[in-house]
Structure 1
């Protein structure tokens, strides 16, 4: 994965200060066994893993490209398992070894098409047949501020919806169709729209998608 698609230096620099807000939707987890092997890819400081633990999940692992984020996660949740990804998106996991993957506000941090597809492909590899991928990410916003920055950076990055934040990250917002197309190797289960605050405190509309890896 290129530097643009991991941006480790940026995430290390802001690891102590950012707050993430994408919520779990508990009804989507009702059918998942509490002893399921759960992977939080792009776990940040462990917020979503804590929420999963509170709902009874015990076999939890988190991975992130940022050593700074993982250090914060370990300090906040010393009993949980966290690891730094050395060569993202490659996971140190056998094929078909995970029951549930949580991918919250990660695709927005991976701006290029090829890197996004490589990430989804790696998650598909480690999921067991019948395993579930739970995606939460940000949609294209329709306010003047966002439309202006989408247009301003479209030529530089070759994609409408990719932009630079004021503090130096390169991010991407998506259409729902784009998010669904990334999951075209999965069976769609459910989807919903959500209102969230971005990591810089701005209101935004997001989408959550639940998808299942087909069984043979």
Structure 2
């Protein structure tokens, strides 16, 4: 089975052609202010970055493990600051470097529990105290097609319920809301909403968006 923490080969191949659609609620970022230092982790081809730039956020950086997606973004928007993340989830930034971090449809692409925890811990590190993390991701779906996909993966590989493989070779994960809250337990929840989104393969799915605030210390409440 593939390494569920990265899947670079997929994102440099079929994944590099996908269109991403999770909407940004700009009002959630109003308190951060237009001068906020923003990091888009898993920025893909810079779709969300471009929207923030067009709405007056001048200090936005994006990183993604896929060189192909970053190259696509550079062709589309050469004005954006897009960088390849060489050793995910490690970021080449000092602690407290950002006021806002975005994690849009990224956890679904990192299905492994330990890899998700490491990613959230790294974002906690680079956020300034009181910084905001804006998460948008997919929930467990109730339809028969998805339930069968979850069950098939569980029978073959075990692991968290909600993991499945797509027809074009990606391993993805849909989330129990309680599991997402547990993953983000080192943050305080500021906002939460349920939405419907288009998936990268053209389906409609239920999703959740969470705006959470960084606490002092490490995720889970321990001090560094």
Q: Deviations over 1:58-114 (max 9, x none)?
A: 001000010000000111110111111111000000001100000000000001100
| 2:168 counterpart residue number | 167
| Residue correspondence of structure 1 range 39-188 to structure 2 within 5 A | 39-155=39-155, 156-188=157-189
Contact 2:65–2:84 (Cα < 8 Å) also in 1: yes
CA contact (8 A) 2:163 2:172 kept: yes
Give the count of matched residue pairs.
215
Pairwise CA distance, 1:157: 3.8
Q: Matched residues in 2 for 1:167 and 1:90: separation?
A: 28
Q: CA offset at residue 55 of structure 1?
A: 1.4
Q: TM-score, normalised by structure 1?
A: 0.97
Please tell me whether the aligned partners of residues 101 and 123 of structure 1 are also in contact (alpha carbons under 8 angstroms).
yes
User: What stretches of structure 2 of length at least 5 have no aligned partner?
Assistant: 218-224
- Residue 222 of structure 2 is matched in structure 1 by none
d(CA) in 2 for partners of 1:176, 1:16? 28
Aligned 8 A contact 1:15 1:72 in 2: no
* Deviation per residue, 1:161-196 (Å, 9 max, x gap): 000000000000001111111110001101000100
CA distance in 2, matches of 1:16, 1:144: 28
Unaligned runs of 5+ in 1: none
Shift of 1:15: 4.6
TM-score, normalised via structure 2 length: 0.93
Distance in 2 between residues matched to 1:116 and 1:136, nearest whole Å: 14
Could you say what the CA RMSD is over the residues aligned between the two structures, in angstroms? Answer: 1.2
Which range is displaced more, 15-24 or 36-45?
Answer: 15-24
